Amino acid sequence: MLFTAPAFAFLFLPLGLIFYMLFGKNNKRRCLLIICCVYHVLLNMSHPLNFIWLPLIAVYTFFARKTAVICAKRVLTVILCAVPLIWLIMMRGMHYFGMDGFVYPVGMTVPALSAVSYIRDCSEDGEAPADFFRLLLYLAFFPVMILGPFVRYRDFCRLTEEENITVSLSGVCEGVKLYAIGFIKRIAVGAVLIEGYQWIFAYSWEAPTFGIVLLLLILVYFGVFFSVAGYYDMGVGISRIFGIDVPRVDANPFTVATFNEYSKTLFGSVRIWAENYILVPVRDIRGKKETGFVRVAVYCMCIFLLVRSQFTMLILIIPLIAFSIASASLRLDKMRGKSNAGLRGVFGMLNILVLGVFWVFVTMGGDNSVLQYISEVTVNNAEYQADMVLISFSGSKYLFVSLTAFCTVMPQMSSVKAVYSRMSPRMRAVADYGAMFVMLALFVFTAMFFLPQFPEYNTTPFNYLII
């Protein structure tokens, strides 16, 4: 039962909120932990063996922190932090190599990263309470279990203090709106675009044209972007419904021009995790700062941990690093004026193509069919293929998808934000509630029209990303 399942949206979430409101007046954390545990039970009902991985990692993390404090050795702390990551890589390998009877547990990556945060924050910073109850809530907190956004343990403790958990009508409305936006992004935009990409890849001609290849790259780029951004919005929205102010991720694909901006937008919390728990400890041991090349490589490696990737695909890090260094040398990340708008536009198109190639390899699992498909690019029958594509994508379905995608990213546009900032408080409230009702209408339409076309998303978060 995932966030996109009707049972979650129309049954579990409302009942969970009612339980939370009735019994969580003075015990919000305890009620929240009960809701999280019930969710994990329902999520793994079809695979009972996956019940044990969360308690196991919680017990290990708790005692690993105690060991790190008693021994007070920095190298030992690093080793203890590395164990959840090694375990994660082993589980990923078991999935890829097709171990009989093994089903990869959904939402295992974020808790593994969170375990590292708990061990280091409690053993070295000393600012976070080191009790098992809070640890279990931190690891089991289901709104961020799919993709995040990742929250450091000490920040999570602050957000989940009883006095900081505030359930209000405005907060619930904002959470419902964010959840609806994320649901729409995931199903009405992301899933439909990925379906179009897969349809062309699977059923198109044996010898594709350059136009077909470019269309594939564009479809998979935007499909993945809206899918990932959708899960962020749903996770933040669910957190806001329960009164926890998890930071929002503003993801607008039309303002991204470089890989650095792309990774900050979609995987910014993973970059923060990599900075705090890989680069900083290594920097402390070595006594000097790493190069930009090494920093980008570490960021890419951590993103590879989050998405479906095989060891042979690590070679894809090289063009991503080169693209990142090229944009950094031109200072495109810091200069957004009219003087370099053209250069940013060129890099924006290159960004779509480079990352489109990356996601094509990820969606196909690094299969050699990708290379074979690209190697057979031709210019023959270009007009016929273009006509077939236009016929396939000319229906009202894809027009609706385009308009919906625009509606979901419109609030993040600078011009819209400027108009919103000049409104009076009353007008802002009217605009907020109006936007919420619009998104709810789109949400209902998405659930009734688009979701039945993708029944696999009730149980599988991504059919092209393994989280």
- pLDDT of 101 > 50? The answer is yes
Looking at every residue in the chain, the average pLDDT score rounds to 79
Tell me what pLDDT residue 461 has: 57
Cα gap 255→154, rounded to integer Å: 32
Comparing 430 with 392, the larger pLDDT belongs to 430
Average pLDDT over residues 458-462: 58
Q: What is the mean pLDDT of residues 403-426?
A: 81
Contact 142, 39 (CB under 8 A): yes
**Calpha distance 223→100 (Å, rounded):** 32
pLDDT number for residue 385 = 56
As separate numbers, helices (DSSP H) first and strands (DSSP E) second, the chain gives 21, 0
Distance CA 179, CA 230 (A): 8
Neighbours of 42 (CB within 10 A): 15
Angle (nearest 5°) at CA 245 between 243 and 249: 135
Closest CA to 218 of 269, 174, 253, 268: 253
- Rounded to whole angstroms, the maximal C-alpha distance in the chain is 71
Q: Which of 385, 387, 390 is nearest to 206 (CA)?
A: 385
Q: How large is the average pLDDT for residues 46-66?
A: 86
The C-alpha atoms of residue 464 and residue 83 are separated, in whole angstroms, by: 27
Mean pLDDT for the stretch of residues 413-431: 81
Tell me how far CA of residue 204 lies from CA of 180, 209, 375, 401, 416, in angstroms: 34, 10, 15, 22, 40
Q: What CA–CA distance (Å, rounded) separates 283 from 290?
A: 7
CA dihedral (337, 343, 346, 351) in degrees, to 10, reads -70
> Token digits for 262?
């792309």
Q: Which two tokens stand for residue 257?
A: 């021009």
Single-letter code of the amino acid located at 190? G
C-alpha dihedral (131, 133, 137, 139), degrees to nearest 10? 60
What pLDDT was estimated at residue 346?
81
Give the per-residue pLDDT at 369: 58
The per-residue pLDDT for 466 is: 46
Is residue 368's pLDDT more than 60?
no
**4 SS3 class:** coil
Contacts of 56 (CB under 8 A, 6+ apart): none
d(CA 139, CA 58): 7
Average pLDDT on 386-402 reads 66
Q: Which residue has the higher pLDDT, 445 or 330?
A: 445
pLDDT at 239: 92
Residue 60 — very low, low, confident or very high, per pLDDT cuts 50/70/90?
A: very high
pLDDT at 383 over 60: no
Stretch (H or E) spanning 200 = helix 192-203
Residue-wise pLDDT for 280-332, tens only, equals 877 777 777 777 778 888 888 787 777 766 666 677 777 777 877 777 777 77
Asked whether residue 223 carries a pLDDT value surpassing 80, the answer given is: yes
Six token digits for residue 328: 């950094």
- Burial of 391 by CB count in 10 Å (0-12 exposed, 13-18 middle, 19+ buried)? exposed
Cβ–Cβ < 8 Å for 219, 260: no
Q: Give the range among 228-242, 331-345, 372-386 with minimum mean pLDDT.
A: 372-386
**Cβ neighbour number for residue 127 with a 10 Å cutoff:** 12
Q: Is the pLDDT of residue 387 over 60?
A: no
Give the number of other Cβ atoms within 10 Å of residue 431's Cβ: 15
Q: Which residues make beta-bridge pairs with 378? A: 209
Backbone angles phi, psi at 378, to 5 degrees: -140, 175
Name which of 86-100, 225-239, 273-287 the model is least confident about.
86-100
Average pLDDT over residues 17-24: 86
| pLDDT at residue 381 tops 60 | no
Q: Say if residues 153 and 122 touch (Cβ distance below 8 Å).
A: yes
* 3-state class (DSSP) for residue 209: strand
pLDDT band at 34 (very low <50, low <70, confident <90, very high): very high
Q: Which of 149-158, 185-194, 455-464 has the lowest mean pLDDT?
A: 455-464
pLDDT at 238: 92
First to last CA, the chain: 15
Question: In this predicted model, which residue has the larger pLDDT, 136 or 259?
Answer: 136
Asked if 60 contacts 83 with a C-beta cutoff of 8 angstroms, the reply is yes
